[in-house]
Amino acid sequence: MKRQAGSVIIIVLWTAVLLTVLVTAMASKVRLSAQTVIHNQEASMSWATLMGAVNQTEMELMLDRMPRPIDEDLQRTADGATRTPAYRFNGQPAELHYPLGENITVRIFDHAGKINLNRIPRRNMQLLIEKRLGGQQADPEEVQDLLTAWTDWTDLNDLEGLNGAERDYYESLEQPYTPRNNPELDTVEEILHIRGFAELFEGVNLEAAFTIYGNTRTVNLNLATREAMELLPGLDEELIENILAYRELDELNNRAEIAEIVPFEELQELSPWVGNNTSNFYSVFVYENIEVDEETLQTLAEKEFPNLDLVQQAYMEIVEVRGFSELPNIHRIDPYGRLPDTGPPRVYEEDYLFDIPSGFSVD
């Protein structure tokens, strides 16, 4: 009897253990399912908020095409001149007519602030290549080889230029492909397929520097991205940061105003590249802000010119807006678009190369 009782106790104990394990496993599964539901709900709500902001941004671009209200209070310069509303689409956090959620940031980049690969003259491409290879120290033979490879890629035939690259070269690669043989590139990344250009533009955010949309041949410095200006002949880091600082205060509307920042010799190199055009094409970035903890804030505070916007990738659309009576055309969507450099001007007021316009104060 005692042996039987002992066996029963052991069986009961094992049963209790198994039931405990099963209940624990089921509870964990239920908890995991509940967390999954909550996360899916949060993701759905975040996505809906994000898409709402995208639609509001598209509407803002349409509203910008409407005639301005007579009583609209436009931003003005210190001397009373009206600032160009379209110049606010230079990547600064956008303020829309229809307010966004507190945790949402929208940045709009007019493609007039980028270098148009489909409209760049051959001479300008040569100058761009030379700058990437070191300017006056660039090897002329290497420059010409790259320029010829570019010409062979964008011409309409399979005739290979001197030291160029055509169908035979590209089809001999380990992963063969055929050249474009057309001046109209389909994407800015296509430039990396041209012989030598992947190395030439290594480390460059191509989407930030280049565009393939529109018909403009020049870059508007009021809208230009850092990445585009870094490629322009005549501009170095100091001049670029001064341009970014100046356009927070005023506009650069003509050669004389640019000359207040850019010395004469550098201006001679820069002049063929710049204009006052705007475009109908925009890169729209919409994203939720990242909450910054105290440790991160401390790390940022130790930097010379901290950028408090820590987002580097965001939902991105390239849109074409032709008017206020029709919806924008969507040319490209990238849920993980790489943001251009949105950091503040990296220059101190005492190092400005220009006089601060009267009526302005710099905090």
pLDDT at 228 over 60: yes
Residues 271-316 have pLDDT tens digits of 999 999 999 999 999 999 988 788 888 888 788 888 888 899 999 9
Tens of pLDDT along 7-66?
A: 767 777 777 777 787 777 776 676 665 555 444 544 455 888 899 999 999 999 999 998
* Backbone phi and psi for residue 284, each to the nearest 5 degrees, phi listed first: -110, 125
CB 113 within 8 A of CB 87: no
Which residue intervals of 133-201 are DSSP H helices?
140-154, 167-171, 197-200
Which residues pair with residue 210 across a beta bridge? 115
Q: Quick check: is 157 in a domain?
A: yes
pLDDT of residue 39: 46
Per the domain annotation, does 242 fall within a domain? no
- pLDDT at 24 (0 to 100): 76
Per the domain annotation, does 174 fall within a domain?
yes
Evaluate whether residue 46 is within a structural domain.
no
Q: Flag whether 278 is in a domain.
A: no
Asked whether residue 338 carries a pLDDT value surpassing 50, the answer given is: yes
Residue 129 counted as domain residue: yes
**Environment class of residue 110 by beta-carbon count within 10 Å: exposed (0-12), middle (13-18) or buried (19+)?**
buried
Q: Where are the beta strands (DSSP E) in the chain?
A: 90-93, 104-110, 115-116, 210-211, 281-288, 313-320, 329-338
pLDDT tens-digit series, residues 184-210: 999 999 999 999 999 999 999 999 999
pLDDT: which is higher, 75 or 178: 178
Question: Which of 108-117, 263-272, 282-291, 348-357 has the lowest average pLDDT?
Answer: 348-357
Give the three-state DSSP class for 33: helix
Residue 152 located in a structural domain: yes
Quote the tokens at residue 31: 């908890």
Structural domain boundaries, residue 194: 121-206
Scanning the structure block, which residue is given the tokens 């405990």? 20
Beta-carbon count within 10 A of 254 CB: 9
* CA-to-CA separations, 60 to 55, 56, 76, 88, 146, in angstroms, rounded: 9, 6, 20, 12, 42
Question: Considering its fold, how many domains does the chain have in total?
Answer: 1
Report the CATH number that the domain containing residue 169 is assigned in CATH.
1.10.40.60
Q: Facing residues of 287 across strands? A: 105
Within a domain: residue 200? yes
Region 97-112 average pLDDT: 90
